[in-house]
Amino acid sequence: MRWTSFAILSGLLALGASPALAQARLVVLEGGPARGPVQARLGEAVRVGVRIGREALPAGSRVEWLRVVPRLQHVELEPQNEGDRTYSNAVLGGERHGRWIGHDELEYTTEPLAGRGVHGEGAELRLEGAPAPPSRAETTPRRSAPLAGTIWLAARVTLPDGRIVATPGAPGEGAEGPEPPERDRDRLGLRERVLRVSFRTGDGFLGWLSSYFDVPYVFGSTPPQSERYTGIDCADVLVGARRRETGRRLRYTSVQGIERLARAVSDPLRIGRDGVVRDGEGEPVELRWGEDVRAGDMLAIDYAADEEGLLPRAWDHIGALLADRSEAGPPDGVLDGQDLLRHMSRRGLTDEPLWRHGPIRIRVWRWR
């Protein structure tokens, strides 16, 4: 297992501590830029340690490792769209659907860092992945790669004299709750000084897409949010993965804008509750995996089934075809309702069969 390079997280803030503690920081061993964020492939390990200035912690210091967890929707704050707790920068539904409102305020908490892929204790830690937060055991979206995704790290250190220093993202001494300090957040979400580590399954489009697990869904996300992994919507997450795969500065866009970046490889089709793909006349259509469709193709989805609409449209959903499946499990070679779609749901990135979307109209698109 190779180690990724040194990246330095921004300074720890010492509440009420002496100036000598102001330069304390987290360091990540091997990989990524000096101040993060870190991008790693599964199979690589990232070591993280706490330092004060350039020195190790004093003997006898106690470290509490934390993760900063984005809530998947509003819990404490009133949503911008009445009755809908989904994070949204724009109007959801109705005649004004998609109209800009302003950056929604995202909610966060912190919890002890634990789970598969997390090793070590004391002043150093080794990560081999980004396990889903334990607090989401009942709500974590389905994922084919359990350790892929993004994690934000923080730590609280109790020094031998009893003073407490906290990294960016960690509640400081005297904090009343588990939320990260306001100074570590801005209108886009968590500031970049809170260390982010993203793990992916590979260097292709679907591999980079996997790095967005545990990033919250934000309808109408903005490019800076997408680039910082603070929040992202269904179209932007696909563009973000493609940007990282190719190194091209593709423009973040809506579902409708995907047509400028991709080409249609199917006519508008339907998938009914029986999972069978049909044309506009209701006749079954056979799309073969490897010939007509392939992993990484995008599927524009119309839930309204507007006969006169053209896909994609700004209010449609979109995801990426992930894998061929059959009711029994193994591939059957034909596109149908059992096949897996990787898409940004309102619960975050998820892998799930097409039949879960109910009767839908679809069109298959492929990156140019």
Beta strands in 60-187 (DSSP E): 62-70, 108-112, 118-119, 124-127, 149-158, 164-166, 185-186
Among 58, 4, 64, residue whose Cα is nearest residue 28: 4
Reading the chain (368 residues) residue by residue, the pLDDT tens digits are 334 433 434 343 333 334 444 446 788 776 655 567 999 999 999 999 988 877 889 999 999 999 999 999 999 999 999 999 999 999 998 889 899 999 999 999 999 999 999 998 789 999 999 998 888 766 767 888 999 999 999 999 899 999 888 889 999 777 778 999 999 999 999 999 999 999 999 999 999 999 999 999 999 999 999 999 999 999 999 999 999 999 999 999 999 999 999 999 999 999 998 999 999 899 999 999 999 999 999 999 998 655 555 556 656 899 999 999 999 889 999 999 999 999 999 999 999 999 999 899 999 999 99
Q: Considering the entire predicted model, what is its pTM?
A: 0.91
The CATH architecture that domain 207-368 belongs to is: Alpha-Beta Complex (3.90)
Query: What dihedral do alpha carbons 68, 80, 186, 173 form, nearest 10°?
Result: -50
Give the residues across from 308 on adjacent strands: none
Among 134, 136, 79, 67, residue whose Cα is nearest residue 105: 79
User: Hey, is 28 helix, strand or coil?
Assistant: strand
Contact present, 202 and 71 (Cβ < 8 Å): no
Domain boundaries, the chain: 7-71+107-201, 72-105, 207-368
List pLDDT tens digits, range 34-79: 567 999 999 999 999 988 877 889 999 999 999 999 999 999 999 9
